[in-house]
Amino acid sequence: MLHLRVISPPDRTDAVRAVLAEEPGVAHLIGLPGAAVRPAGDVLEADVARECADALLGRLRDLGLDHDGAVTLEVLDTVLSDAADEAEEAAPGEGSDAVVWDELIARTGEESRLSFSFQAFLTIACLLAAIGAITDSPVLVVGAMVLGPEFGPLAAVAVGVVLRRRDLLRRGGLALLVGFPLGMAITALATLLFDATGLLSSSTLDHLDQVEFIYEVGPFSLIVAVLAGLAGILALTSAKAASLVGVFISVTTVPAAAFASVAAVEGRWREAGLSALQLAVNLVGIVVAAALALLVARRSRRRRDAGRALSSG
């Protein structure tokens, strides 16, 4: 269940109440006349089954509440109520399969910003991956995969493509186009430092039996990227964020970027080129797969809404 709170101008409160009351997936409807101070208005609250939340938000937006009122939505971890159970049963579909597009836009928009913390996490992940490759330690490489924050911008680009949101495309693209080159440049400088202090020599890279997967590009590289993109966007749309850890571990974006820098500094251009290709394959595969999954979800929603409109008419 999701908790919905609406601040409505008094002249639209009756319309908002009617929208909420007509929705079978709504429970615990509460009205608080004049309770809102900024913006001024009435407050209505309700618990909403996830599967009907997206359509409900669309109807509230049609009333203009996103401009001169407010609509907020938050996840409820525990609800003990027969009325809530009945609302979830009455709502069409399954909550775990429902896409709340406004929630997805907000989440990907926030996680795709080129911020200091994003760059710091990406750079540290690249450095860890570089050290893991140099020491032939798959444990460090996997740790770098988990630490890398790159899926947020990738998801934002996919959502931006599907919804034609230039702001998400611009934000996600900027994070990727600035974040990876900067992280790779710092990794290259660290590699030079390792060379100067004797911690690394080109011969160290001759035997990397445990981490060869970083630069070994083949059909499975694309297949894994596609599967990771599908799993990642499903985790975001179904609010199962814990599944994202598996996505991070399955793709080699950060390790490939890091090893490309290390190999280039050491003059091993073949490995550097293959690592760069591995990075490109993973980035493109994830975005394309995520965008296709979102397109299917969007078309399914349109068909469902059309069938619902026909049945109600």
CATH number at residue 45: 3.30.70.260
110 shares a domain with 61: no
pLDDT above 70 as % of the chain: 91
Neighbours of 219 (CB within 10 A): 7
164 shares a domain with 130: yes
Residue 310 has pLDDT above 60, yes or no: no
Model confidence at 299, pLDDT cuts 50, 70, 90, reads confident
Average pLDDT over residues 254-266: 92
Model pTM score = 0.82
Say how far apart CA 300 and CA 280 lie, in whole Å.
30
145 shares a domain with 82: no
Domain's final residue, options 98, 130, 164 = 98
82 shares a domain with 107: no
Residue 142: domain span? 103-300
238 shares a domain with 145: yes
Domain's final residue, options 98, 116, 135 = 98
Model confidence at 244, pLDDT cuts 50, 70, 90, reads low
DSSP code at position 91: S
Give residue-wise pLDDT tens across range 169-187.
999 999 999 999 999 999 9
208 shares a domain with 78: no
Within-domain flag for 210:
yes
Domain count, the chain: 2
134 shares a domain with 85: no
Say how far apart CA 266 and CA 236 lie, in whole Å.
39
**Strands, E assignment, the chain:** 2-8, 26-37, 40-48, 70-75
Average pLDDT over residues 182-209: 85
221 shares a domain with 89: no
Please state the separation of Cα 108 from the chain's center in Å.
5
107 shares a domain with 247: yes
Average pLDDT over residues 191-208: 80
Q: Do you know the residue count of the chain? A: 313
Rounding to the nearest 10 degrees, give the CA dihedral for residues 222, 167, 6, 41: 170
Q: Using alpha carbons only, what angle is made at residue 183 by residues 150 and 217, rounded to the nearest 5 degrees? A: 65
Beta-carbon contacts of 270 under 8 Å, excluding residues fewer than 6 positions away, are none
Within-domain flag for 312:
no
Domain's final residue, options 98, 130, 156 = 98
93 shares a domain with 116: no
Give residue-wise pLDDT tens across range 272-288.
999 999 999 999 999 99
Whole-number pLDDT of residue 304: 64
Spatial strand order in the sheet of 70-75: 26-37, 40-48, 2-8, 70-75
Q: Minimum mean pLDDT among 35-39, 53-57, 69-73, 169-173: which range? A: 53-57
The more confidently predicted of residues 184 and 95 is 184
Closest by CA to 253, choosing from 229, 232, 281, is: 281
Whole-number pLDDT of residue 15: 95
119 shares a domain with 93: no
25 shares a domain with 40: yes
Whole-number pLDDT of residue 307: 59
Beta-carbon contacts of 189 under 8 Å, excluding residues fewer than 6 positions away, are none
Whole-number pLDDT of residue 245: 66
Supply the mean pLDDT for the chain.
Answer: 88
Within-domain flag for 309:
no
